[in-house]
Amino acid sequence: MHAGRHYSLREILTWTRRELFTFVIVASVPAGLCSAGVDVGVIPWAPVVVLGTAVAFVTGFKCNAAYGRLWEARQIWGAIVNASRSWGVMVRDLITPEASGQTHQRMILRHVAWLTALRYQLREPRVWETKQMKHNLEFEASHFSVPERKTPLDEELGKLLSPDECARVLGKKNRAAALLALQSEELRKHNEAGRLSEYRQVELVRMVSTLYEQQGKCERIKNFPYPRQFATLNLIFVWLFIVLLPFGLVTEFKRLGAFGVWLAVPLTVIIAWVFHTMDKIGEASENPFEGSANDVPISAMSRGIEIDLRDMLGETDLPPPLTPTNNILM
């Protein structure tokens, strides 16, 4: 997530520089042919305008859908924050601790492990994501790093779970779901041992179900992309408009003479850049968990939850909150 006031013009132009060079070439070809005496004014301006209007609607739809996915992801993690705080309070106040006094700490740290496993799962790549595109890799290399790609999951879980639990969880395909199952299993054991009444067990199991529900919502966004048929057609329509645009503009500007034809080049580049960048922004916002600059900051939110839960346990040596790097918060 960008945590500054706005991206700088330099960052945007650097991010789109390859397309800008392409637009210059596309715009210069019909202008050069026209200057050489080749009649390229065969495309009237009116059909190009109609196509541009259609592309604007399609691109707007894509950006709106992408923002909807991004905002839903943010709402889900807001719900996870609230449920996590409730879980910490309920575990601390409703469960009578064992003689060892480690019950509350074990169950709360296991919840932090669930957050850790969940965010690692959400960072796993999918073929439709844009994270591995060259312009996004360059931006990441120069601006920020993703915490989940710096430290292995087993090392992070080893700090929060017992060796037996850690090995058990790492042997599962869905590690986050396995951790919630461990929480439910321990609640049952506390009930059988008389440390947790049935009424309180029901309330805590309901909270586990809430966490399962929020995890499922995250997985739905992660595993179901913006429909590929819409994304494919939108890409084709944008580039069709960009290719036809300079021919339509040359038709209009050649009335100004030989020099006027070349005025179509910068105008073509500007219009093409606006349309393509809007499409590119929508594409960059479709997958809010992949680890890009515009994602929901699940790493920072998880750290914030961990700080709150450890504070509930009375710990004083709390981990520091994550801060933005070059205005990018992960």
Q: Please state the domain extents for the chain.
A: 9-312
Helix (H, G, I), strand (E, B) or coil at 2: strand
pTM over 0.85: yes
Task: From residue 207, give the alpha-carbon distance in Å to each of 74, 111, 241, 294.
Answer: 20, 12, 52, 30
Beta-bridge partner residues of 2: 328
What sign for the dihedral angle of Cα 133, 135, 138, 144?
negative
* CA–CA distances in Å: residue 249 to residues 260, 267, 274: 10, 8, 16
- The predicted-structure confidence for 66-92, as pLDDT tens digits, reads as follows 999 999 999 999 999 999 999 999 998
Question: What average pLDDT is seen over the chain?
Answer: 89
Predicted confidence (pLDDT) at residue 327 exceeds the cutoff of 70? yes
Residues 159, 131: Cα–Cα separation, whole Å: 29
One-letter amino acid for residue 201 of the chain: Q
Predicted local confidence at residue 101, as pLDDT:
67
Question: pLDDT-based confidence at 251, cuts 50/70/90?
Answer: confident
What integer is the mean pLDDT of 281-308?
A: 92
Residue 171 burial class via C-beta count within 10 angstroms: exposed 0-12, middle 13-18, buried 19 and up: exposed
- Residue 209 reports pLDDT greater than 90: yes
Whether the predicted pLDDT of 63 surpasses 80:
yes
Whether 260 shows a pLDDT value over 80: the answer reads no
Contact in structure between 59 and 226 (CB atoms under 8 Å): no
